[in-house]
Amino acid sequence: MSKLIFFYYNKLRKETWFFLILPILVILSIFFFYPMFTVFKTSVYKYVFPNIVEKLTLANYSRFLLDIFYLSKVLLPTFKLSILATLTALIIGYPFAYFLSKMKNPNIRRLLFTSIILVLWVNEVIRILGWMIILSDNGIVNSFLMKIGFIRTSVHFMYNELSVFIALVQISIPYIVISLLGVFNYIDPSLGEAAKTLGANRFITFLKITIPLSIPGILAGTLIVFALNVNAFCIPLLMGGNRVSMIGVEIYKYSMEVNNLPFASAMSVILLLIILLIFYFYTSLLNKLYKGY
Amino acid sequence: MKSGLFFSFAKGIYFLFFLLFVLSPIIILMIVSFNPESVEFPPQGFSFRWYIEMFERHDFINAVRVSFYVAFLAALFSTVIAIPTSLALTRYHFWGRKQLNSLIVNSPILVPMVLTGLALFEFFVILGIYGTYQSLILAHIIITMPFPIRLICAELQAFNPFWEEAAAIAGATKFQSFIKITLPIIKQSIFGGYIFAFIISWNNFALSIFISSAKTITLPVQVYGYLRYEYKPLITAISTSLVFLSGLLIIIIDRFLGLESMFINKNK
């Protein structure tokens, strides 16, 4: 047995690629895979306040998955907000990406593209503060509506699901625009011209040619955005007050504030599985639709 | 022709509302930061008061220092490790290559930042290095690594390995051909990858809040702390400066590397 290992080890030593990927393998194994393993391990340990008892149990998982409280107050808002925000961002961002790709002036195009990217590179906390100023009870929207007499008392835009939804949409739009721009640049413009010579007006070409050809971009963009929204932690934490509960927030609360590490670990494992399922579903859908590519 | 005019008008309105929605929090924030009193809009005056106060706070300066130190080093290590990794992923065929590639490229989206944060938190506590600079830098290396790798891989795949083969025929060793041929060509993406990694680390909040301790608070975590204690006007000044910095960086990168080409593959 040891001779076999020795043989393979010698073989590997001669391969260049082994040394090339050695650094990243080492770092990933020690600082990524092993900590993940620790989380899996902790998730099946018992939590007896305030200690972690090292007895194997699935109680953490059953507590989250079988209790209607967690399902309805955590899992449901997570999915509801993520799906809504993803679809809204898609609808809002699609025309923008389309018009941007068709724009002839390169300077304006660059300017618009850069300003969209800027949103991604500005810190999440900063964006949230901006929304707070706009949406809070004595913020811009409320003061404006009160000045024109539309409402008497301030409408609560902040610290509920609406504000989380708005912030999620804002952060989702740049990713969708980027994915769609990539696809739009790839579409052969002569297809549109061919359709025009056959008598289709602009609207029908858009419907029958542009949209179907852009589906890979739509799928890729919505995948990224949906995964990002389900993972969202900072936005619901700050913009939802204590009322909006997404799974990321619960993981943070149970690990950092309550110190119930096993339960928090179980929730993160569940979150990971959800994301993996979404990924698997998406990629199999893409493969089915585009077998030849 | 009438419908054409209406269409352009509607398009203009759409663009206006779109940009307003996406950019307004940032713009309003910048305007309000000059308001000497509170965070009301329209501002009641003009003053640099909050900017001055920003520079006088020790915890803010400290947080900037920590963030910069961590981002600088983490991005450095990240990019340095990315170079051999990208070479291996694009130029060599080996068992597990596709899996490793997709794991690295997809992990920032796939693996929730909360999970990484929790995992590293538990790990660092077990190791006893929780709250040190080293742990923070290591964590940031992990999360920034996919980005330089992706950029360098893209550039490596775009250029023909024919030059390297020509060098090998002319008698250069693998290492020599790497230094003299490959490296100059991927210089751009290495630089871009470093900037990318730096920004990811600098802006990171979700991970840092798990592993920051009182001594090693990064800037985003510090701003979050201010937010919880209602230091709103101060944060607007901080935020505006950060937005300025990010904007500057984007302009620089766009000038040198061309942002659009980095994100989108133009079909020539």
- Yes or no, beta carbons of A130 and B220 under 8 Å apart: no
What's the pLDDT at B252? Answer: 77
Q: What is the mean pLDDT of residues B51-60?
A: 84
A84, with CB counted inside 10 A (0-12, 13-18, 19+), is middle
What's the pLDDT at B262? Answer: 56
A148, with CB counted inside 10 A (0-12, 13-18, 19+), is exposed
ipTM given for this complex: 0.83
Contacts of B31 (CB under 8 A, 6+ apart): B41, B42, B43
Considering only CB atoms, B239 lies closest to which of A121, A129, A227, namely: A129
- Yes or no, beta carbons of A265 and B242 under 8 Å apart: no
Distance, in Å, from the CA atom of A55 to the CA atom of A50, rounded to the nearest integer, reads 15
Question: pLDDT for B97-130, tens place per residue?
Answer: 777 777 777 777 788 889 999 999 989 988 888 8
Q: Confirm whether B24 is domain-assigned.
A: no
pTM of the model: 0.85
Q: What is the mean pLDDT of residues B54-72?
A: 89
What's the pLDDT at A170? Answer: 92
What's the pLDDT at B268? Answer: 28
Distance, in Å, from the CA atom of A115 to the CA atom of B250, rounded to the nearest integer, reads 9
CATH number at residue B71: 1.10.3720.10
Cα of A211 to nearest chain B Cα, Å: 18
Which residue from B226, B127, B218, B251 is spatially nearest to A121, judged by alpha carbons? B251
Partners of A56 in beta bridges: A45
- Does the structure show a pLDDT above 70 at B263? no
Backbone phi, psi, residue A48, to 5°: -115, 110
User: Using a CB-CB distance cutoff of 8 angstroms, which residues of chain A are in contact with residue B119?
Assistant: 32, 35-36, 38-39, 268
Q: What is the mean pLDDT of residues B162-180?
A: 75
pLDDT bucket at B266, cuts 50 / 70 / 90: very low
What's the pLDDT at B72? Answer: 94
- The position carrying tokens 């993940």 is A36
Total number of residues shown for chain A: 293
- Does the structure show a pLDDT above 80 at B167? no
Is A48 near chain B, with CB under 8 Å?
A: no
Q: Confirm whether B131 is domain-assigned.
A: yes
Considering only CB atoms, A27 lies closest to which of B19, B141, B242, namely: B141
- Yes or no, beta carbons of A126 and B41 under 8 Å apart: no
Q: Is the dihedral of CA A121, A124, A126, A132 positive or negative?
A: positive
Half-sphere exposure (Cβ direction) of A196: Cα atoms closer than 13 Å:
8
8-state DSSP, A258: S
Q: Confirm whether B31 is domain-assigned.
A: no
What's the pLDDT at B74? Answer: 94
What's the pLDDT at A88? Answer: 94
Residue predicted with more confidence, B27 or B231: B27
Distance, in Å, from the CA atom of A256 to the CA atom of A268, rounded to the nearest integer, reads 13
- Does the structure show a pLDDT above 70 at B17? yes
What's the pLDDT at B79? Answer: 93
What's the pLDDT at B57? Answer: 83
- Yes or no, beta carbons of B206 and A233 under 8 Å apart: yes
User: Using a CB-CB distance cutoff of 8 angstroms, which residues of chain A are in contact with residue B115?
Assistant: 36, 39, 251, 268-269, 271-272
pLDDT bucket at B38, cuts 50 / 70 / 90: low
Backbone phi, psi, residue A46, to 5°: -85, 145
Which residue from A205, A199, A202 is spatially nearest to A187, judged by alpha carbons? A205
Distance, in Å, from the CA atom of A176 to the CA atom of A178, rounded to the nearest integer, reads 5
Q: Confirm whether B183 is domain-assigned.
A: yes
Those of residues 68-97 in A touching chain B at CB distance below 8 A are: 92, 95-96
Contact present, A214 and A187 (Cβ < 8 Å): yes
Q: Is the peptide bond before B112 cis (omega within 30 degrees of 0)?
A: no
Q: Confirm whether B11 is domain-assigned.
A: no
CA A181 to chain centre: 19
Structure tokens at A267: 């929730």
- Does the structure show a pLDDT above 90 at B70? yes
CA B262 to chain centre: 14
Q: Confirm whether B149 is domain-assigned.
A: yes
What's the pLDDT at B68? Answer: 93
| Mean pLDDT over each residue of chain B, to the nearest integer | 82
Weakest-pLDDT range from A279-283, B147-151, B199-203, B262-266:
B262-266
Total number of residues shown for chain B: 268
Low-confidence residues of chain A, pLDDT below 50?
none
What's the pLDDT at A166? Answer: 92
Weakest-pLDDT range from A198-202, A255-259, B9-13, B247-251:
A198-202
The helix/strand/coil state of A223 is helix
The full set of domain ranges for chain A reads 2-35, 67-289
Q: What percent of chain B has pLDDT over 70?
A: 91
C-alpha distance across the termini of chain A, in Å: 44
Q: Confirm whether B95 is domain-assigned.
A: yes
The domain tally of chain B equals 1
Ramachandran category for residue B256: left, alpha or beta (phi over 0 → left; psi -120 to 50 → alpha): alpha
Test mutation, A126, A140, A180, A257, chain B, max B CBs within 10 A: A126
What's the pLDDT at A85? Answer: 94
Structure tokens at B261: 């080409």
Q: Confirm whether B111 is domain-assigned.
A: yes
Residue predicted with more confidence, B251 or A34: A34
Residue B57 domain boundaries: 49-263
pLDDT bucket at B237, cuts 50 / 70 / 90: confident
What's the pLDDT at A89? Answer: 93
Domain A67-289 sits in CATH at 1.10.3720.10
